[in-house]
Structure 1
Amino acid sequence: MKQYEKGLTGEKQAENYLLALGMICIARRYRAQDGEIDLIMQDGETIVMVEVKYRPRGRSGAGLMAVTPGKQRRILHAAQAFLTERDWFGLPVRFDVVEITAEGVLHIPNAFMATG
């Protein structure tokens, strides 16, 4: 399986996991000029920007470490673009990481803050 296909597989697993928690999917693979967001979900009143890390052979927790400060900045830029397009400023926003490993799904709510 190619890396792109693995990424899509991981994103679908993450989406299914979050849907089972009661979230609603708003967008997948949102791209802006300065970044992208794997999944954009709604959890009650909160808009959730989700970075998915697919690590089928890695240990749990390694995916979170891959969300570097630079990656966080790119996600923040994309989130700003998304919210601007929809005039959704003022809504609560959260940044989560979902890691998919051979061991299962690790969901980290509020993995980082919008300070980048």
Structure 2
Amino acid sequence: MKRYDAGIQGEQEAENALTRQGMTLRTRRYRAEDGEIDLVMQDGETIVFVEVKARPQSRAGQGMLAVTPAKQRRICHAAMHYLLENDCMDVPARFDVVEITRDGLIHVKNAFMASM
């Protein structure tokens, strides 16, 4: 399976898992000028920006390591753009990471804090 296809499949798995937890999808693969967000979900009153790391050949923890401070900044910039574009600046938000490995799916809530 190609890397892109694995990523799309991983995003779908993550979306399904988060939906089972009671979240609803706002959008997939949101792109801003200086960043991208895999999934934007709604968890009650909170908007959740989700980075999905699909590493089917890796062990748990490897995907989290790929969400570097530089990657976090790009996600945060895209999230700010999303919040402004959707008039949601006063809505609570958080950043989660979903890692999919050969060991299964791991959902890390509040995986990192906003940094600009």
TM-score by length of 1: 0.98
The equivalent of 1:17 in structure 2 is 17
In 1, the alpha carbon distance for the partners of 2:37 and 2:2 equals 20
Match in the other structure for 2:53: 53
CA RMSD of aligned residues (A): 0.6
Structure 2 CA distance, aligned partners of 1:103 and 1:65? 16
Residue 37 of structure 2 aligns with which residue? Answer: 37
1:31-87 deviations in whole A, cap 9, x for unaligned?
A: 000000000000000000000000101110111110000000000010011011111
Paired residues in the alignment total 116
Contact residue 54 and residue 99 of structure 2 kept, 8 A: yes
Deviation at 1:115? 2.6
Equivalents in 2 of 1:65, 1:27: separation in Å?
Answer: 25
Partner of 1:28: 28
C-alpha separation between the residues in 2 aligned to 1:35 and 1:70? 11
Identity fraction in percent: 61
Question: Any unmatched runs of 5+ in structure 2?
Answer: none
Normalising by structure 2, we get a TM-score of 0.98
CA separation in 1, counterparts of 2:40 and 2:86? 13
Secondary structure (helix, strand or coil) at the match of 1:111 reads strand
Secondary structure at 1:47's aligned position in 2? strand
Could you list the runs of 5+ residues in structure 1 that have no partner in the other structure?
none
The Cα shift of 1:2 comes to 1.2
C-alpha distance in 2 between matches for 1:10 and 1:115: 26
- SS of structure 1 residue aligned to 2:16: helix
Partner letter of residue 41 of structure 1?
A: M
1:102 to partner: Cα distance: 1.3
Off by >6 Å, runs of 4+ in structure 1: none
State the alpha-carbon separation in 1 of the partners of residues 52 and 86 from structure 2. Answer: 23
Q: CA deviation at 1:103?
A: 1.2
The one-letter code of the counterpart of 1:31 is: R
1-structure distance, mates of 2:63, 2:71: 12
Conserved 8 A contact 2:72-2:115: no
